[in-house]
Every structure is written in structure tokens, then in C-alpha cells.
Structure 1
Amino acid sequence: PRWAARRRRAATGMAAGQSARLDPLFERLKNVDAADAPALEAKIRQEWSKSGSPSADLLLSRAKIAFDAGDHKAAMGHLTALTDHAPEFAEGWSLSAVTLFNMGKVGPAMAAIEHTLALEPRHFVALEGLVLIFDDAGLYDEAFEILHRIEAIHPHAEILSKARARLEAKTLGQAL
């Protein structure tokens, strides 16, 4: 239908506009000092949360409030509406992944991470989720691979030292 084509064009425009705002931030993130990385990361996260649609932003806001209150079912209700309304909005998929993981639904969380990364391959939060899932599943080589991807995007990501040390200890134990 005509409305669906309009919605697809608007979503594609939204993703392109967000990418244009994010590109210089990601370039800076690769070369920033460790002390300046958290502020730059916060700017990227802020850009990720801007959908360009007031109704999508409202759904994301309500989902975050429900998630923070521990009401994952209500959060998923808002997030399902969000991803239906704005399927090109990576942050909706990312928060869906976190919520689903917290609900113990690892398969659907992985699918939501896949959507996130298809829309925003540099989404280091989604990649961090993969590290946790692979680590929990005992897939340490895969987790290390994802850590390398994160490092290429965000060399000062907090997860790098913590997860690397934990994974090295686990793999060292396997080698012995």
C-alpha cells in the first residue's frame, strides 16, 4: 500500500540522517583518549535514542521507564509497538534485545541483536550483548571475536578489559 511505501522512505531517511550525525562521533571514538571516551560514548548513545519520530521517541521513553522499573513485560509491549512502528530504528531493537535477555529469552534476544547490527553495525552495546550471550553459552572463541569487533569501534569500551580477563581465565582453565 501507499502508506507502507511512505513509511519505508521515512524510516530510510531517519536511518541515513542518524548515520550522518554518528559518523564523525565514531571516527573520534576510535582516536579519543581514554579519559574522553565516556563523554563521547554518551553522545553516541544520545544520538541512538533519537528516532526522528515523536511517537517512536515516546514509545522508547515508556519502554525505558518500564525496563528501569523491572517491568520487562510492559517494556516489551512498548518495544514491540516501537519496532512495528519504526522497524529501521536500531535502538528499539537494541533495547528489545536487552529486555528479552533479561526475560531469559536468549533466542529472541539474539534475533533482536541481529536486527540492531543490520541497521547499525557499530552498535557496541548490541555487540556487548553478544559477548555476554556467547560467554554464558561457553562459546569463548566467538566472544573473543566480538570483543575484537568492539575494540575496532570503541577502543576504550569498559567491557574490553573486564570480559577479556574473564574469558582468558576461562579459556586458560580449558587449556590446562
Structure 2
Amino acid sequence: MGSRLLWFLAISSASNLLHADQTDDRLGDLFAVLQETENVRTIAITESQIWEIWLQHANADVQQLMLVGTQRMNAQRYPEAMVVFNRLTESFPDYAEGWNKRATLHYVLGNLDASISDIEKTLELEPRHFGALSGLGMVFIQRKELSKAKRAFEDLIEVHPNSPNAKQNLELVEEQLRFSVI
């Protein structure tokens, strides 16, 4: 099964991504792979392919806005990145990854309520968005809302059972919850 799975991953990666986003039909098969495999290499390849699909969009303006916004965020030019991501979410409100990027920027800036709001929009558009679920857990940890963080990591594990950090984060939150009861 391993070689067949890797063949599928290679073929699906090479296919046309021009019309990809969170509505892409290939995502179902890729998420099935995440449910079935424990192979670290296969998980990494599958995650990468999912992110590649989520980042794609048929509209070249979306592609350009994502590129510019991400570059500015990575360069710590946060006000400029926020302008770009605001434009992206206003102009293309059905594009989940635009909301997710802006949620990440809000998190970096310490705007936790705004980050949660954008994560919720991301998850409304793509309920399987493991990046958004992980981010939600991290936001709730920052807010010291450990029960909500626990739920976010449980939801993440449901979508991506072998997520590299989900189980570890869940264990840490559960430990903190146990100590807070004592």
C-alpha cells in the first residue's frame, strides 16, 4: 500500500492547481491519507500538498495578494501586511486561506479576539483546516482558556490524527487543566 499511496501523492501533486482552493476535490483523498497513515514522510508530503492546494486560487489577484501579504508579514512589515490581508478578505471572502493568513497576523500582533474571529471564518469555509485548528488552540492557550484549547486540539486530532504537534499540545493542556483543579 505504501508505494501506491506515494504514487497517488506524486500524481496529485503534479496535477493542475489553477482552480484549487479549499473546494478542490482532491482534498478529500488527501485528508483520507492523513486519517490512514502513520508514516512520517507520507504525512509531511500530504500536508504539503494540502497547503499547496489551500494557497492556490483561480484568480491571479488572489495569488498576488497572498504573495505580497505573506512577504510583508515575513519581513515583519505588519501594518502593510494587514492592509493586504484586509483587502484579500474583503475582495475574496470565500477564500479560506486569506482568513487564515490574517488570523495568523492578528495572533502575531496580539489581537487574539480578531484572530479567533478570522479562524472561525476559516473553519466555516474549510472545517478540516488543521492549521486554523492548531492556531485556535494556541490562541486559547494564550488567553488561558484551557478547556477551549483542549477542544481545539481534540478537533485537530479528529481531522489529522497524526499531526506532529497536536497530541503533544493536547497533553500539555490536559496536564495544565489537571494542575488547575488541584
User: Which residue is equivalent to 1:169?
Assistant: 175
Percent identity over the alignment? 25
Instruction: Give structure 1 regions of 4+ aligned residues with deviation exceeding 4 angstroms.
Output: 14-17
**Normalised by the size of structure 2, how large is the TM-score?**
0.83
Q: How far apart, CA to CA, are the structure 2 residues paired with 1:109 and 1:139?
A: 15
Question: In the TM superposition, what is the alpha-carbon distance from 1:172 to its structure 2 partner?
Answer: 2.2
Q: Does residue 75 in structure 1 map to residue 81 in structure 2?
A: yes
8 Å CA contact retained: 1:29, 1:40: yes
* Matched residue, 1:32: 37
Distance 2:133 2:66 in 1: 20
Aligned positions of 1:1-176 closer than 5 A:
18-35=23-40, 36-176=42-182
State the 1:131 CA deviation.
Answer: 0.4
What's the C-alpha RMSD, in Å, of the aligned pairs? 1.7
SS of 1:52 mapped into structure 2: coil
Give yes or no for contact 1:15–1:89 (8 Å, CA) kept in 2: no
1:97–1:112 Cα contact (<8 Å) kept:
yes
Distance 1:34-1:144 versus aligned 2 partners, 3 A rule: farther
CA deviations on 1:132-151 (whole Å, 9 max, x unpaired) are 11112222122111111111
Is 161-170 or 102-111 further displaced after alignment?
Answer: 161-170
Q: Deviations over 1:11-70 (max 9, x none)?
A: xxx688833121111111111223121110010000000021101100001111011111
C-alpha offsets along residues 65-120 of structure 1, whole Å, 9 cap, x if unaligned? 01111111111111111112211100000000000111111111111111101100
The answer as to whether partners of 1:34 and 1:156 remain within 8 angstroms in 2 is no
Structure 2: distance between partners of 1:127 and 1:168: 17
Which residues of structure 1 form unaligned runs of 5+? 1-13
CA distance in 1, matches of 2:99, 2:137: 17
User: Cα deviation per residue 1:116-135 (whole Å; 9 max; x = unaligned)?
Assistant: 01100000111111101111
Provide closer, same or farther for how the CA distance between residues 168 and 27 of structure 1 changes in structure 2, counting only shifts above 3 A: same
- C-alpha contact 2:21 2:57 (8 A) present in aligned 1: no
DSSP 3-state at the match of 2:24: helix
TM-score, normalised via structure 1 length = 0.86
* Residue matched to 1:8: none
Structure 2 unmatched ranges of 5 or more: 1-18
Count of residues paired in the alignment:
163
Of Structure 1 and Structure 2, the greater helix share is in: 1
